[in-house]
Chain A
């Protein structure tokens, strides 16, 4: 009788501990899935904003091309980059690189507009620049969200005990958005205008 009672107690204790471990496991598993989805969500938000910027670029080129006769090379460059980034066979890494180049070229065009008073006073150009500026700031915010989500995800991949689950689930670390050495340097507006 005592043996049966001990066995039953052990069974209950094992069941209780097993239940707790199962719940912890479920929580860790769900947490990892949530973090992975946060990374995807943040990346897709950047995508949406980048597309918004693509839509603004043809307008910018169309508005400024008649005035900026001497900057046709820059305008051709921005159009070329846009076409490249919209091509289907671009890898994620290439795309990030192209997007960074687009950011730099757009900034260059915006800085060049300062040279053309008639453009600066144009209502359409003003509205376009406001939209571009807003989109750039939103892209920057979305990148910051992406980096936070990736840091959170990568931490979970390296920390115990989530790393055990992550390796079983074959989760791989993700790369952060990093600024290039060129972007880290202060913008030389004088250089852009010369």
Chain B
């Protein structure tokens, strides 16, 4: 595994893009803020908004059906002559449970897709990684062709290049 630090986000992105061209999937970048669009950081979208939508629909639908079941089948009560299936009264609880379902699905989905919790990772052994969350720009390559990757990294003015055993 090759770990390289960069002075700017743009340099890191260009190096990553070039290594990726010959070897897709062999590169990951690390930095302390959201990648900027202007710096070419928008690398595809995320499936998580869709997951959150599903979580919200599940929460809302589940909540509505639970209330409908409770008030019509399990425990029907005549309150002021209102129908058992008094659906307008279910809307607030349905909404709240939909939001809860979406938020929990988003958090859980994030942990799964971001590979967390992961308290130890081989990249932690690299000195350069210490700076990643402090404002640095770090590139980690697991290239098929290490020599080519090193060449690319030095051409893009990597500050420090380390070899780390996996």
Q: Tell me whether A and B are bound partners.
A: no
